[in-house]
């Protein structure tokens, strides 16, 4: 009968120190595995459809959320993070009569957070670990047609499930990216390259065409910077004076009022002179 040699026991396991080290290593491995399992078991998040059609300027989103266990309260605040990853631009370009759709990939975009109060209870009040929830995204909140990465987190920042991609379908405002164009049938318009396309031809008799230096000849008279009305005095600025004299005498002139006092005196003097002559 043939004997089978069994593998020998490692030497470090034979010593007490080696056995203790093995036990500690197994405990650490079990601890890491437990935490990894807990990190992966944060629930699940799923969209009913990864595409949503715009209706009256809004997109209706239907989601299913499942937590690892039923929460303590029926209503939980959940944060839905929408990060734009692809922009849908409708642009008018040369050679096309209709807008052309351009898909532009985006990076390092700031997510838009929608805080929603999610109910995990039924009408009877019993709380469950999973629920279905729906809400709307509007253009007034900054959303537009494009692709978004959706993440769900609890109020304390714990992620629920894994992220998913949501496509918002709709027509964004048209952007005009055509070059400046003029009427090519007009004989006075010439077609040239670069920025001066569409400049009309100048007549040979114009001053600009005859001036080799390119100087501009002034024509006409410009209005003054300050109109003539600005130099006229207003009624408030004029000095108002009282009509008539100042009431004082001027040397070398006889006031008219003094003649009325001298007339009676002259009459008395004349009368006295005649009386003396009659006595004589």
pLDDT of residue 178: 87
Give pLDDT tens digits for 93-107. 988 889 999 999 999
**Could you tell me which residues are beta bridge partners of residue 153?**
79, 159
**Helix H or strand E segment including 20:** helix 16-40
Mean pLDDT of the 215-242 span: 69
CB 150 within 8 A of CB 163: yes
- In a domain, residue 238? The reply is no
Tell me how many domains the chain contains.
1
Q: Which CATH number characterizes residue 122's domain?
A: 2.60.40.1930
Of 113, 137, 174, 116, give the one whose Cα is nearest residue 53. Answer: 137
For residue 107, the enclosing domain spans 44-176
pLDDT in tens, 120-174: 999 999 999 999 999 999 999 999 999 999 999 998 889 999 999 999 999 999 9
Q: What is the mean pLDDT of residues 171-196?
A: 65
Whether 3 is in a domain gets the answer no
As a 3-state breakdown, the chain gives helix, strand, coil percent values, each rounded to 5, of: 25, 30, 50
In a domain, 112, yes or no: yes
pLDDT at 35: 43
- How far apart CA 280 and CA 275 sit, in angstroms, is 9
* 100, part of any domain: yes
In a domain, 271, yes or no: no
80: DSSP letter: E
Tell me whether residue 109 is in a domain. Answer: yes
pLDDT of residue 54: 95
Count the neighbouring beta carbons within 10 Å of the beta carbon of residue 60.
14
SS3 letters for 131-164? Answer: EEEEEEEEHHHCCCCEEEEEEEEECCCCECCCCE
At residue 215, the 3 state secondary structure works out as coil
User: Distance between CA 67 and CA 154 in Å, rounded?
Assistant: 10
* Ranges 165-174, 213-222, 224-233, 249-258: which has the least confidence: 249-258
Mean pLDDT of 236-241: 62
pLDDT for position 224: 73
Within a domain: residue 150?
yes
Residue 230 domain-assigned (yes or no): no
The per-residue pLDDT for 258 is 56
Q: Is the pLDDT of residue 76 over 90?
A: yes
């Amino acid at each position: 009968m043939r004997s089978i040699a069994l593998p020998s026991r490692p030497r470090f396991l034979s010593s007490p120190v080696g056995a203790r080290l093995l036990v500690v290593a197994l405990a650490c491995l079990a601890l890491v595995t437990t935490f990894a399992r807990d990190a992966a078991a944060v629930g699940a998040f799923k969209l009913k459809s990864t595409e949503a059609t715009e209706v009256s300027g809004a997109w209706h989103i239907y989601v299913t959320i499942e937590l690892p266990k039923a929460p303590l309260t029926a209503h939980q605040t959940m944060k839905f993070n929408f990060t734009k990853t692809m922009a849908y631009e409708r642009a008018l370009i040369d050679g096309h009569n209709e807008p052309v759709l351009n898909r532009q990939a985006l990076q390092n975009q700031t997510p838009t957070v929608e805080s929603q109060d999610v109910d995990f209870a039924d009408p009877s009040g019993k709380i469950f670990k999973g629920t279905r929830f729906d809400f709307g995204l509007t253009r007034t909140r900054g959303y537009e047609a494009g692709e978004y990465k959706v993440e769900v987190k609890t109020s304390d920042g714990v992620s629920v499930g894994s992220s998913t991609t949501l496509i918002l379908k709709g027509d964004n405002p048209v952007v005009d990216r055509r070059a400046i164009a003029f009427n090519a049938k007009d004989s006075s318009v010439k077609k040239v390259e670069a920025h001066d396309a569409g400049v009309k031809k100048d007549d040979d008799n114009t001053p600009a065409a005859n001036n080799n230096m390119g100087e501009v000849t002034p024509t006409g008279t410009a209005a003054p910077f300050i109109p003539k009305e600005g130099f006229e005095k207003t009624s408030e600025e004029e000095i108002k004076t009282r009509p008539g004299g100042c009431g004082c005498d001027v040397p070398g002139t006889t006031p008219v009022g003094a003649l009325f006092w001298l007339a009676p005196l002259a009459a008395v003097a004349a009368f006295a002179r005649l009386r003396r002559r009659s006595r004589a």
